[in-house]
Structures are given as structure tokens and as C-alpha cells.
Amino acid sequence: MAKWGEGDPRWIVEERADATNVNNWHWTERDATNWSSEKLKSLMLGLRVEGEEGSCEVTEVSKVEGEASINNRKGKLIFFYEWILKATWTGQSKTGVKYKGTVEVPNLSDENDMEDLDICISLNKDEPDTPLTALMKTKGADKIRKALGSYVGFLKSEFTQGMILPTANGVAKPQTSSQAKAKVDKVQQISSSSSTAAPVNTGVKIPTCKFTLKDKFLTSPADLYRVFLNQEMVQAFTKAPASVDGTRGGKFRLLDGNVLGDFTELVSDEKIVMKWRYNNWPSEHYATVAMTFVDLCSETELKVEYRGVPDNEEERTKEGWKRYYFEAIKQTFGFGARLL
């Protein structure tokens, strides 16, 4: 018989405020099916690639069929997911001719690595042959693979919060599943940019990157600066309702709530620094975006530095800014200039 105080800690009831799942010993399960369905749709919808032949974009996600769950046993998290996906892609050639096709993913599963994922791209039967099909089968398939890889990363970093409960001393036992670690490592290798730790409040560190975008606008720094802080102007170039408080500490919410954050530093006509995020990033995780406005006499150079962007969101963030900020502002206000 064990002496007092020397018993197996797995059977000792610790003093916990919620008296729940002591030492994370009991099997607990969380259904991630509904969350995963919405996440997969948001990650695929709007994916866009461009080439010499034209451009292609995923315009509809028509089928998300499957299930996902997470189990906690003895402080280890075990992930199960299996999905069949079907989407529609729309292409437009340089001459303006439009085409439609399908994307099918029959085996997104915890049993398959991302490099083994089948991504079937086809052109609708009633459409004439086009080089855009090859564009989707190469660049398009690569982008879809990265997006679905980021789903696995979000499942492991965002949806697992609270599954490993704190013990009496307030410390949660770390996940030690070698299988889960190996898959997370593969997701983290998606981006070639260097990673740095970002300040997050989720309790889970995610790999992040930093990069810079530049563009030129045929307007003054003062006019371009005002575009980002004036609610009516933001609504004009995003073509959607927006909430913008253009003061230091003021918050913004754009594109039907898909983009949000707050302004942390404002230097009139020269600099804007903000906390910025997509709404499907891990909870409370923000990137730091610093915009510098440089007067070039006849035009303004906008330099935008990004820090803390999740690795698997780098390409999506770059394309989102180029399309929904830079290009949209030029088209709306006539500030068109050559992209650097």
C-alpha cells in the first residue's frame, strides 16, 4: 500500500475550481464538424491565381461533406477529420472570355499527408479548351493545398483551446502526441518566410512571418492617408458597409466583418500603424501593419510592412491587400499607377 502522499497522481483529486477532468486523465471529445465546415469554405472561397493566360478564382464551394473531432486522453490531443470537398472555379482570359470548371478533393483526412492530397481540377464539359485549366492544375492546385493545410493548423491551434485543462498548480500538461507534432510541423513549413513569435492571447504559439509591399498612387500623401481613415471613403473602395473610427485607438471593421482591428499610431499624412487581422485567424491574434506615405512630387509611394502574419496566411494576406486595398483604391478614386 502506498504511503500517504505517494499515490499515483492520476487517481488523486486535485483542488480545481471546476472539479472537472482531474489531471486531464479522462477521455473528452469535442465535435469540430460545424466549425470545420465553415472554416474550409472560408479558406477556399476567393482563392485566386494569375498567369500569362489570364486569371482564375474559386467562386463557389458547393460541397463540404464529412466530419471532424478532437479527443483528449491523458493530456494528449488526438485529431480525427475526413472531408470530401467540391468547388467551382471561374477563369477569365486576357481577352475577356470566361470559363468555368470544378475542383474536387476526395481525401482530406488525418490519415493522409498534405503532399498526398488529391486535388482534381477539370473544365466543364460544355466549355471550349483553354490554357486556364493548366493554370488551375498547377498554381491553383498548389494554392488550394496550402489553404487546406492551413485548416489543419487552425484546427490544432484555434479550436483546441480549453481541451487540456489546468491542474491545481495552474499548469496544463503539454500535448505529447508525436503524430500531431509531425503534422503541425508540416503545416508550419508552408511559408518560406522567416518565422517570429507573435504576441497572442490564445496560449498557443503559431509560426508567423514578416514581409513588405510597395505601390505608387497618383495622388498626394494627404489624400491617400485620408482614404484609410475616412469611413465613407473606406465604404466606397471596399463596396461594402464598414465601421471606421479614424483616431488613435479607434477600431475598424471592413468587408462584412472579415477584416478588423484598431489604429495604434497615426502621424498625419505620413504614417499609419494598426493591429490588423482576418476574422478567421486564431482568436485575438493580430498582425502589425505599418503604412508609410512617401511624397514623390507627382505621386505617392505607399510602403506597407507586415509583422506577425500567420505563415499559412502570407499569400492570402498579400493578395487581399493588392486586390481589396491597392487595386480597389486606384479604381475607385482614379489613383491608378504602375504596380511595383
- At 200-212, the pLDDT tens digits run 344 456 889 999 9
Tell me, yes or no, whether 94 lies in a domain: yes
What is the model's pLDDT at position 120? Answer: 95
Q: How far apart are CA 196 and CA 10, in angstroms?
A: 37
Tell me, yes or no, whether 299 lies in a domain: yes
Co-location of 117 and 216 in the same domain: no
Give the tens place of pLDDT for each residue, 49-93.
999 989 999 999 999 999 988 877 656 777 788 999 999 999 999
**H helix or E strand, kind and range, residue 76:** strand 76-93
Tell me, yes or no, whether 282 lies in a domain: yes
Co-location of 139 and 53 in the same domain: yes
Residue 251: half-sphere exposure toward Cβ, Cα within 13 Å: 8
Q: How far apart are CA 82 and CA 167, in angstroms?
A: 32
- Total domain count, the chain: 2
Co-location of 46 and 145 in the same domain: yes
Cell 493530456 -> residue: 75
Top pLDDT among 291 and 76 is at 291
- CATH number, domain with residue 282: 3.30.530.20
Q: How far apart are CA 77 and CA 80, in angstroms?
A: 10
Co-location of 232 and 320 in the same domain: yes
What is the model's pLDDT at position 108? Answer: 92
Which of 49-63, 76-90, 169-183, 225-239 shows the lowest per-residue confidence on average (mean pLDDT)?
169-183
Tell me, yes or no, whether 36 lies in a domain: yes
Tell me, yes or no, whether 2 lies in a domain: no
Tell me, yes or no, whether 69 lies in a domain: yes
List, as one string, the DSSP characters of 309-320.
EEGGGHHHHHHH
**Torsions phi, psi of 180, nearest 5?**
-65, -40
Identify residue 245 by its one-letter amino acid code: D
Task: Please count the other Cβ atoms lying within 10 Å of the Cβ belonging to residue 275.
Answer: 18
- Beta carbons of 103 and 117 less than 8 angstroms apart: no
Of 12-16, 167-171, 269-273, give the range with the top mean pLDDT: 269-273
Q: How far apart are CA 71 and CA 28, in angstroms?
A: 6
Tell me, yes or no, whether 322 lies in a domain: yes
CB neighbour burial string for 22-38, b if at least 16 within 10 angstroms, e if fewer: bbbeeeeeeebeeebbe
**H helix or E strand, kind and range, residue 266:** strand 259-267
Tell me, yes or no, whether 175 lies in a domain: no
Co-location of 115 and 221 in the same domain: no
Closest CA to 144 of 312, 309, 262: 312
Mean pLDDT of 124-137: 92
Mean pLDDT of 316-337: 88
Co-location of 150 and 220 in the same domain: no
Q: Which domain holds residue 269?
A: 208-333
Indicate if the pLDDT at residue 168 is higher than 70.
no
Q: Which residues contact 153 (CB under 8 A, 6 or more apart)?
A: 184, 187, 188, 206, 310, 312
In this prediction the pTM is 0.46
- CATH number, domain with residue 125: 3.15.10.20
